[in-house]
Structure 1
Amino acid sequence: MVFAALLLTLSGINVYGQNVITRNERKIDADWKFHLGNAASPTLDFNYGINETSFSKAGGANGTAYAIRFNDRNWQKVDLPHDWAVGLPFDYMDNGDQNAHGYKAIGGHYPQNSIGWYRKEFEVDPADSGGRFELRTDGIYRDSKVWVNGYYVGGNYSGYTSATYDITDFIRFGKKNVIAVRVDATHYEGWFYEGAGIYRHVWLNRYNNLHVVSQGGLYVRTENKGKDANVILKTEVINKNTHAVKGTLETLILNREGKVLVHSKVIPLALDINEQKSYNNSLLLPNAQLSNLDNPYLYRAVALVRENGQVVDSVPVRFGVRTFAFDKDKGFFLNGKSVKIKGTSDHQDHAGVGAALLDYLQYYRIGLLKQMGSNAIRTTHNPPTPELLDACDSLGMLVMDETRLLTSGSEYEKEFRDLILRDRNHPSIFLWSIGNEEHYTQRTDIGKRIALNQILLQKELDPSRTATYAANIGNVYHGVNEVIPIRGFNYNLNGADNYHKEHPDQPVIGTEVASTVSTRGIYIKDTVRCYVPDYDSVFPPWASTAETWWSFAAKRDWFMGGFAWTGFDYRGEPTPYKWPNINSHFGIMDMCGFPKTVYYYYNAWWSDSAVMHIAPHWNWQGEEGKEKIVWVNSNTDDVELFLNGKSLGKKKMPINGHLEWKVQYEPGKLEAIGYKDGQKVTYSVETTGRPYQIKLTPSKNVLLADGEDAVVVNVSAVDKQGREVPDASNMVYFDLEGENAAIVGVGNGDPSSHENDKDVRHNWHRSLFNGRAQVIIRSGTNSGTIKLKAFASDVLSSNIELKQINNTAPIK
């Protein structure tokens, strides 16, 4: 009977046959209106700042953009998540900000592009009155101000933290309601591309007046008890009724199939008007299934609040049973087993969509990293979207969750507090990071005191974990490093041995390593087009090759491993070049997720599968007889290289290394053969013919018809024999038909391309860069078939059909 009631409660309908106000959390991403404002001209900013009374008289909208009756018919229709910066033009300006942010025409020098206004209409059924209503924004870049029905309800300065607003008092029941948001992206928070706009989800939530606090109100942690687990629960309940109430609280533990395994005792509740109380409880979970990298098993805890015997609130939280240990001599242990951290640091933007990633792209990107052999990510250098953590929970990826700034002023302390409260139930998180490379602060006594404040706050809110700090100061102990529990090294590994010897009781991890730069498919240095060779050979002065840092980490038990900079290329920080280069070269994969040569180095030494890969490709028309540097990445015992059947010699593969040959080019087939555990492993590259037909390769063939799902379609060109042409550069045009699905972005991984990622006219096209491009499609809301067609001059077109289905279970 209890479980049946639970199912009804979670579905948001009646319980025990009676209509009650239960928790309902609903995304409201569809059907927003958008228009640019202007930071330099109030009249072009819809009179914001002049002739308005919103801040002097409550509800004084006076016909401004946040008024209910404001005419927004000519505004652009958008669905969230939305990043308006990715669609802006590139513009060269010789200053550090513009360079670091990818030369997009946004920021203080571009007031006409740096303010965005959003409006959203919604209705609330009068039957839902009597409860509490909350608006939650998961990420708005940045400095956002929010109005509901002309009433100012609050703002959030940071572009990376969630914000919640109780809007109960401003709701109009049975009438049109309007949310208005002003976003000011004039000032930067980071030194990399950050996007602009409401680039994460927005939620309209409804609660009973007696409910579990929405932000981190149910905290779940576990302790292993032999084969069993002790599930420790802390539940914050608040009473927003106009009278004191009595009720009950109980908690259920469910397995991944939804079966109730454990049922707590009933805890009586007694709360005065507007009172909030904390209730602690623990449950013994017998024969607990451990969550690990290969089997990320997730349980679900559900807190049930009852009043007068009726369920009035239910809160489900996913959690995992696992242990973390950080040993000063032996490194990191997960569930008692030694695990070397094989991680990447990652920014939050992707080709085509900028910072506004659809949820599917979070799973897609984490899946690519898992296939490479990576087991951890660091959220650099800001709080992530919750859906990234969901993907890591589900797929088995550890997370170092990082706040934006190392400082303890009231505003930034609150941001760190909110981050922990929001994210602490995610089993993927194994470390908190309190900051990154604060060169003004990290060596000082002030930095030490700030760090200690943040560490104590972390321990208060989440005693199940510990913290680190990403320090780029080598063998230096004073300042932040005096108090940080886990010493983080950003580069400077040549000082790590001495540091460990001098401070043997402090565990050590590589919070940021590598920073190799390379351009996919380019094998020479090209200073005109700003490309660097696609080998693990070029790096900035502070950095190293992948092979150097990983060889260092692999042979030292006390060094836990680390996070390579970066898993993917990202907009901004063009290194080692500037304009016309507009995004980084640091990625192991490019901005589309296409692997570079260094990918196969990590794949060879981080994964358990047999790996063989050759670089470069073998299309070098007109360069016959010229010497080519051939790299082979493999984890076989040895490798023999053949050109057109002739052996070029056999070499032993060094552990955590690679092999090189110098080969005079002649058209044909270059093949590498090796053996791993007696298994033959081969890989070859061939000289292809000219591009003959476009090829489309979707990441999946079935989408949910929910308007939120997505598919990544990789684009290439093949010759008459069906071989992908690695140096193809055709301009490819795209057309999409069926069931109101839409192309939302295109890319090709070229770090110097100034082609549009977005096309508001829906004339979608993108050139192949070294044989590849990418299209991202957002699903529609009708079941049926959608058809993507790709065509280019002088080659055959191609098309694929994808199915859209109605289904309540997400397809990942």
Structure 2
Amino acid sequence: MNMKTCIILLLLLWSSHSASAQQRVRLNEDWEFVRQDLGGIWEAVRPRKGGNPEDVPLWTRVSLPHCVNATDAVDPDLNYYQGPAWYRTQLAVANPYPGGRTVLHFEGAGQKTEVYIHTTKVGSHVGGYDEFSVDITDAVAAFTKTEAFRKQFNGKVPLSVRTDNGRDLELMPSDLSDFNLYGGIYRYLNLVYLPAVSVDRLFAEAQVDSTGKTGSLDVRARFHAPVASGPATVSVVLKDPRGKVLQRVEKTLADLSGDLPLARFAVRAPRLWNVQDPARYTVLTTVTAGGVASVDSQRIGFRQATFVKKGPFLLNGKRLLLRGTHRHEDHAGVAAAMTEDQMRQEMLLMKEMGVNFIRLGHYQQSRIILDLCDSLGILVWEEIPWCRGGLGGSVYRERGRQMLTNMIEQHYNHPSVIIWGLGNENDWPGDFETFDRDSIRSYMRELNDLSHRLDPGRKTAIRRCDFCKDIVDVYSPSIWAGWYRATYTDYKEISRAEFEKVDHFLHVEWGGDSHAGRHSESPDKALQQVPPAAGNDHSGDAARFAHAARGSKDGDWSESYICNLIEWHLREQETMPWLTGTAQWPFKDFSTPVRPDNPVPYMNQKGVVERDLTKKEAYYLFQSYWTDKPMAHIYGHSMPVRWGDAGEARMIKVYSNCPEAELFVNGSSLGVRTRNSQDFPAAGLRWNAVLREGPNEVRVRARRGATVVEDSLHFEFQTAKWGKPARVVLERVSESDSIVTIQARVLDDKGVLCLDAAQFIRFGLAGDGRLLDNLGTPSGSRAVQLSNGRALIRIDRRGGRSVASAQVATLPTVFLNL
């Protein structure tokens, strides 16, 4: 790890803890869980030890964050569970503040939540993605007076939480959405002790004048205070990015109701927040009442974000091409319940890929992600989960308004946020008997007005609802050149035509699916069937049937094709001076209920990394176009076998941002090539090499000035032609500790590997071990399509004996003793 990365990690660690100045503890351990409903709350508060052994249901121990659908979301044989679930624990409550409040702060739980202290319901919330708090002070005080507190619970307070992600047409988002509506307490839950008077919400509006030389900061606050709290003294301190105190304001407030202005600061020559130097100031607010002080700390940034009418995007007065991606809160083995370390790892990988912009799809995401975007210099489009299905009634609409309000208020101070998203694919009907465009337009106007009232300084946007594109500030049409429509060579032409239709154009969502580990020697063959600029993606995006020929339906889903598609987009974006920017969809493969027949069942596989953050080939392609740190990567690290005729030259591609590179094949130099981003493919860093049958070694040495970077790989070159698949071979390929990796290969009747075999294979296991499956990765699913005639899975032997099996339809099942 280099020094720069270490510094970033230290800053992130500091920032993640500085935002919480009150006494706060994460309630991560000592939880029990049951995935079903209870007959009544009393079933949750029975003694956890020494009770009746015939009590039902059976609770299991878990830690938070925890997702109800950690594994079943990608189980190839089941619909994922949607319904109630319960969590319970016992709290030792000791609020140190006289007259203080004890609060449970949920950073997110899905999708509807009820909270109980013993048998008393103390709060509820609807919405799976915004934060909410439940004041448990009075219920705790009442329970501590009971005999049960002293005898049955040994001085602790029983806490029970019911979550429910069951289908509900009056809830955003729609179950038609291309992502799972997860259940559980899948973000952090905090026990917070507050003084009687404290800051409930602080709004810091940082602005910069047109010259960028003068900044202003308006600070206002909403207080949590008793009705008759008396006067309070408030101090607001502004610190620069180095921690130096710049200014201080103090005042006495007789009335703490409403949103109150606290301070206005003029800042001379502010250090501007940008993607290379995400400088942040600190606003420290202290409110003192009754001799008790409460402190709130917020990190803010000064910056100008401008969408030029019919033109590019400017950050601090200079053009910045937005180089973006997307994120779903989803990860192998845990689904939505990602830890802070996992989130940090994911965002650092994005930054190292060259990302400076992200659309958070399609809902408000964890405060940790926003803090990371602030710290790393990644601009943000964040949106509410009005996604597909149409428009519901009054309850549905009020929930949408509340979600928008919560998102803006909770993430108002983040300098990374430049766009509030109001919806996604709202032209997609299905949930309700009627689909009325006028009603959708009316509601969209209402949300647009609400957003601008809550935050006049940021733009609004939607993606793919053409009949509402005139309402919002920024619009993204649906293009998907080379995947759901047309060919990727039509990308610039289609984009320019869409750009002319709106004042502010931003292209989010492009790319295509790739089955990690699947490669092709002729990836663009399917494009020969696709007429230029043909087709559209206004229905059936997930379907690979009907419609005109297109990449998603007729392509091979190989990494080879997707790399070509992505590179064409990247090279064209460099030649579009009017372009604000784009966001590739998405960074990481994620689970979805609407794609059961994909190569990894129930997975959207458009990521440039797998669901466990394993890099695909496209990750390095993005690096070669978007980053400055010298890098070089030979295409095909996950391609152990290449194929062709004996003596036939095959193209070897290198992705690098260095000006020149030299390739060596089996020890011989094939010469130096010069990089040119417009020389497709591989920006000119490609060589035609005659490979020898059997093992080959390829090495590249790329140079920028005195800096040299290298990469190498080994692969087999197969010249034997294969016939019809005849048998499966199952073999052990590696073992580390108790984890064994096995590989299945499909061969013809002569024992030749069938490199175009793409059937589904199903792994099984009997004995002491356990399949490491339901991970949503090509090597972590017991049912998965072959990649060039092969598939992998891992097994935890657990110190015992097992027998693994592999089954391909029409072929004999095979077994392997472990």
TM-score, scaled relative to structure 1: 0.72
Aligned Cα RMSD in Å?
4.4
| In 2, Cα distance between equivalents of 1:140 and 1:371 | 30
1:65 and 2:89 are equivalent in the alignment? no
Match of 2:39 in 1: 47
Distance apart, 1:320 and its partner CA: 1.5
1:322-337 matches, cutoff 5 A: 322-337=303-318
Instruction: Name structure 2 gaps, 5 residues minimum.
Output: 1-13, 145-154, 168-173, 430-434, 481-490, 524-543, 545-553, 718-730, 743-754, 756-762, 766-771, 784-789, 803-818
Give the C-alpha shift of residue 510 in structure 1. 0.9
1:620 aligns with 2:641: yes
**Deviation at 1:633?**
2.3
Is it true that 1:463 corresponds to 2:456 in the alignment? yes
Partners of 2:307 and 2:19 in 1: how far apart? Answer: 42
- Residues 352 and 64 of structure 1: CA distance in aligned 2, closer, same or farther (over 3 Å): closer
Identity score, percent: 23
Q: Which amino acid aligns with 1:86?
A: A
How far apart in 2 are the matches of 1:510 and 1:610? Answer: 28
**How many angstroms does 1:384 deviate by?**
0.4
Query: Residues 790 and 620 of structure 1: is their aligned pair in 2 closer, same or farther, counting only changes over 3 Å?
Result: farther
Change in 2 beyond 3 A, CA 1:668/1:92:
closer
SS at match of 2:450: helix
Counterparts in 2 of 1:580 and 1:46: CA distance versus 1, 3 Å: same
Structure 1 residues 344 and 638: alpha-carbon distance in aligned structure 2, compared to 1, 3 A threshold = same
For 1:12 and 1:344, the matched residues in 2 are separated by: 27
Change (3 A) 1:409 1:560: same
Q: Which residue of 2 aligns with 1:668?
A: 696
Q: Look up the SS of the partner of 2:127 in the other structure.
A: coil
Residue type of the partner of 1:31?
D
In the aligned structure 1, how far is the partner of 2:517 from the partner of 2:708?
A: 28
Alignment of 1:108-507 (within 5 A): 114-125=83-94, 128=97, 130-172=99-141, 175-187=155-167, 189=175, 190-213=177-200, 216-224=201-209, 226-241=212-227, 243=228, 245-264=230-249, 266-271=250-255, 275-308=257-290, 310-405=291-386, 409-440=397-428, 444-471=437-464, 476=466, 479-491=467-479, 494-503=493-502, 506-507=503-504
- Of 505, 513, 526, the match for 1:508: 505
Whether the 8 Å CA contact 2:89–2:159 is kept in 1: the answer is yes
Q: How does 1:692-703 map to 2 (within 5 A)?
A: none
* Structure 2 Cα separation of the partners of residues 361 and 599 of structure 1: 18
Q: TM-score, normalised by structure 2?
A: 0.71
Name 1:55's counterpart in structure 2: none
Residue pairs, 1:450-599, within 5 angstroms:
450-471=443-464, 476=466, 479-491=467-479, 494-503=493-502, 506-520=503-517, 522-523=519-520, 534-538=558-562, 545-572=565-592, 577-578=597-598, 581-599=601-619
Deviation (angstroms), 1:580: 5.7
CA separation of 1:685 and 1:790: change in aligned 2, threshold 3 A: farther
Question: Which amino acid in 1 is paired with 2:195?
Answer: N
Residue 116 of structure 2 aligns with an amino acid whose one-letter code is W
- Equivalence for 2:714: 686
In structure 2, distance between residues paired with 1:791 and 1:588? 37
Q: Give 2:665's aligned residue.
A: 643
Are positions 1:630 and 2:656 aligned together? no
Deviations 1:495-537 (A, max 9, x none): 432343354xx1211121222424236447999xx99564341
Task: Name the SS of the counterpart of 2:561 in structure 1.
Answer: coil
Letter in 2 for 1:370: K
Higher mean C-alpha displacement, 419-428 vs 654-663: 654-663
Please tell me whether residue 658 in structure 1 is matched to residue 681 in structure 2: yes
Whether the 8 Å contact between 2:513 and 2:604 is mirrored in structure 1 is no
Q: Which residue of 2 aligns with 1:760?
A: none
**CA 1:546–1:66: 2 relative to 1, 3 Å:** farther
Deviation of residue 553 (structure 1)?
Answer: 2.6
Change in 2 beyond 3 A, CA 1:525/1:642: closer
Change beyond 3 A, Cα 1:170–1:552? same
1:184-222 deviations in Å (ceiling 9; x for gaps): 223264332343311001122222332222xx3344433
Q: What is the one-letter code of the residue matched to 1:119?
A: R
Task: Kindly state the Cα deviation for residue 482 of structure 1 after the two structures are TM-superposed.
Answer: 0.9
Per-residue CA deviations over 1:323-370 (Å, capped at 9, x if unaligned) read 211112441122222211111112111122221110011110011111
1:750 CA displacement: 3.1
State the Cα deviation string for residues 50-72 of structure 1 (Å, max 9, x = none). xxxxxxxxxxx5x3325789969
- More divergent stretch after superposition (407-416 vs 486-495): 486-495
Match of 1:27 in 2: 26
Q: In the aligned structure 1, how far is the partner of 2:235 from the partner of 2:504?
A: 40
SS of residue in 2 equivalent to 1:565? coil
The C-alpha deviation readout for 1:660-684, integer Å capped at 9, x for no partner, is 5565542232234555568665433
AA in 1 matched with 2:226:
K
Give the length in aligned residue pairs. Answer: 663
Write out per-residue CA displacement over residues 623-643 of structure 1, whole angstroms, 9 at most, x where no aligned residue: 894865533323445655442
Structure 1 position 555, deviation (Å): 1.6
Q: Provide the C-alpha distance between the structure 2 equivalents of 1:654 and 1:160, rounded to a whole number of angstroms.
A: 44
Shift of 1:773: 8.3
* CA drift at 1:575: 6.4
Structure 1 portions without partners, runs of 5+: 1-6, 14-21, 38-44, 49-60, 94-102, 108-113, 697-713, 718-726, 734-744, 757-768, 776-788, 794-812
Q: Note the C-alpha offset of 1:292.
A: 1.7
CA contact (8 A) 1:520 1:595 kept: no
Matching of residue 753 in structure 1 with residue 737 in structure 2? no
2:68 to 80, 84, 108: 84
Between the aligned partners of 2:63 and 2:131, the Cα distance in structure 1 is 19
Could you tell me how far apart the structure 1 residues matched to 2:795 and 2:358 are? Answer: 24
Give the Å deviation of 1:78. 1.5
Cα separation, partners in 2 of 1:402 and 1:772, compared to 1, 3 Å: farther
The CA deviation at 1:286 is 4.0
> Aligned partners of 1:596 and 1:338: how far apart in 2?
30
Kindly provide the amino acid, as one letter, of the partner of residue 641 in structure 2. W
Are 2:81 and 1:106 aligned? Answer: yes
Alpha carbons of 1:502 and 1:357: their partners in 2 closer, same or farther (altered >3 Å)?
closer
Change (3 A) 1:259 1:150: farther
Deviations 1:417-469 (Å, cap 9, x if unpaired)?
Answer: 00111111112212111111112479933333222211221122222211111
Q: Distance in 1 between matches of 2:229 and 2:605?
A: 60
Letter in 1 for 2:70: V
Per-residue CA distance 1:278-309 (angstroms, 9 max, x = gap): 2242112344222222222222111111225x
Task: Give how far 1:125 is off.
Answer: 2.7
The structure-2 alpha-carbon separation of the partners of 1:679 and 1:534, relative to structure 1 and needing over 3 Å to count, comes to farther
Q: CA deviation at 1:414?
A: 0.4
